[in-house]
Chains A and B, each alone.
Chain A
Amino acid sequence: MSEEQEKKDKPEEAPAVDPEREAKLKAAAEARAARQAAKEKAEAEAAEAASPEPKPPSPKQPQPDRLVALVRQAAGDDAIMESYLNELNGDMPTLVIHNKHWRSIASMLKEHDELRFNYLRNVSGVDYETHMEVVYHMISLESKQEAAIKVRTERDAASVYSATPVWATANWNEREIYDLLGIDFPGHPDLRRIMMPDDWVGHPLRKDYEPLDSEV
Chain B
Amino acid sequence: MIRTEELLLNVGPQHPSTHGVFRIVVKLDGEVITEATPVMGYLHRGTEKIAENLNFTQIIPYTDRMDYVSAMTNNYVLVHAVETMMGLEIPLRAEFMRLIVMEMQRVASHLVWWGTYLLDIGAMSPFLYAFRDREIIIDLFNELCGARLTYNYMRVGGVKWDAPPGWMDKVRDFIPYMEKKLQEYDKLVSGNEIFLARIKGIGQYDAATAIDYGLSGANLRCTGVDWDLRKAEPYSLYDRFEFDVPLGTRGDCYDRYRIRLEEIKQSLRILKQAVEQFPQGGETMGKVPRAIRPPAGEVYVRIESPRGEIGCHIVSKGKAEPYRLKFRRPSFVNLQLLPKLLVGETMTNLITILGGVDIVVGEVDC
Residues on A lying within 8 angstroms of B by beta carbon are 86-90, 92, 118-122, 124-127, 135, 137, 141, 144, 148, 167-169, 171-173, 176, 180, 193-197, 204-205
Say whether A89 contacts B336, CB under 8 Å. Answer: no
Say whether B336 contacts A169, CB under 8 Å. Answer: yes
Please judge, given known A-B contacts A89-B298, A168-B214, whether A144 and B326 are in contact too, CB under 8 Å. Answer: no
Say whether A169 contacts B212, CB under 8 Å. Answer: yes
Please judge, given known A-B contacts A118-B211, A168-B212, A169-B213, whether A88 and B336 are in contact too, CB under 8 Å. Answer: no
Please give, as numbers and ranges, the residues of chain A lying within 8 Å of B365 by CB-CB distance.
Answer: 195
Closest Cβ–Cβ distance, residue A108 to chain B (whole Å): 17
Please judge, given known A-B contacts A86-B298, A119-B214, whether A169 and B44 are in contact too, CB under 8 Å. Answer: no
Determine which of B46, B84, B214, B335 lies in contact with A120 in the assembled complex, contact meaning CB atoms within 8 Å.
Answer: B214
Docked Cα-Cα span, A119 to B223, in Å, equals: 15
Residue B161 interfacial (CB < 8 Å): no
Say whether B324 contacts A121, CB under 8 Å. Answer: no
Say whether B85 contacts A141, CB under 8 Å. Answer: no
Say whether A172 contacts B333, CB under 8 Å. Answer: yes
The secondary-structure label for the interface of chain A is mixed
Residue B1 interfacial (CB < 8 Å): no
Please give, as numbers and ranges, the residues of chain B lying within 8 Å of A169 by CB-CB distance.
Answer: 212-214, 333, 336
What 10 pairs between A and B have smallest CB-CB spacing? A169-B214, A124-B326, A122-B328, A195-B44, A195-B41, A89-B299, A88-B297, A168-B212, A126-B324, A168-B213
Determine which of B40, B298, B301, B333 lies in contact with A173 in the assembled complex, contact meaning CB atoms within 8 Å.
Answer: B333
Say whether A144 contacts B211, CB under 8 Å. Answer: no
Say whether A141 contacts B227, CB under 8 Å. Answer: yes
Could you list 12 examples of A-B contacts with CB < 8 Å?
A86-B299, A88-B84, A92-B300, A121-B309, A141-B211, A169-B336, A171-B336, A173-B333, A193-B41, A195-B40, A197-B41, A204-B49
Which A-chain residue is minimally distant from B323 (CB atoms)? Answer: A126
Which A-chain residue is minimally distant from B208 (CB atoms)? Answer: A118
Please give, as numbers and ranges, the residues of chain A lying within 8 Å of B359 by CB-CB distance.
Answer: none
Say whether A88 contacts B295, CB under 8 Å. Answer: yes
Say whether B49 contacts A137, CB under 8 Å. Answer: no
Docked Cα-Cα span, A167 to B211, in Å, equals: 9
Which A-chain residue is minimally distant from B316 (CB atoms)? Answer: A88
Please give, as numbers and ranges, the residues of chain B lying within 8 Å of A141 by CB-CB distance.
Answer: 211, 225, 227
**Count of interface residues, chain B, beta-carbon cutoff 8 Å:** 38
Which residues 212-226 in B have Cβ within 8 Å of A in the complex?
Answer: 212-214, 225
Please give, as numbers and ranges, the residues of chain A lying within 8 Å of B301 by CB-CB distance.
Answer: 89
Please give, as numbers and ranges, the residues of chain A lying within 8 Å of B336 by CB-CB distance.
Answer: 168-169, 171-172
Contact with A along B291-305 (1 / 0, CB 8 A): 000010111111000
Determine which of A88, A126, A172, A193 lies in contact with B85 in the assembled complex, contact meaning CB atoms within 8 Å.
Answer: A88
Please give, as numbers and ranges, the residues of chain A lying within 8 Å of B85 by CB-CB distance.
Answer: 88
Docked Cα-Cα span, A113 to B298, in Å, equals: 29
Residue B311 interfacial (CB < 8 Å): yes
Say whether B211 contacts A124, CB under 8 Å. Answer: no
Docked Cα-Cα span, A148 to B214, in Å, equals: 16
Which A-chain residue is minimally distant from B333 (CB atoms)? Answer: A169
Closest Cβ–Cβ distance, residue A163 to chain B (whole Å): 11
Please give, as numbers and ranges, the residues of chain A lying within 8 Å of B225 by CB-CB distance.
Answer: 141
Extra pairs beyond A135-B300, A172-B335 (16, CB < 8 Å):
A86-B297, A88-B299, A121-B300, A122-B302, A122-B313, A122-B326, A127-B324, A137-B300, A137-B313, A141-B225, A141-B227, A168-B213, A169-B213, A169-B214, A169-B336, A196-B41
Say whether A205 contacts B41, CB under 8 Å. Answer: no
Please give, as numbers and ranges, the residues of chain B lying within 8 Å of A196 by CB-CB distance.
Answer: 41, 44
Please give, as numbers and ranges, the residues of chain A lying within 8 Å of B214 by CB-CB distance.
Answer: 119-121, 167-169
Please give, as numbers and ranges, the residues of chain A lying within 8 Å of B173 by CB-CB distance.
Answer: none
Closest Cβ–Cβ distance, residue B72 to chain A (whole Å): 21
Please judge, given known A-B contacts A89-B300, A124-B326, whether A172 and B332 are in contact too, CB under 8 Å. Answer: yes
Residue B6 interfacial (CB < 8 Å): no
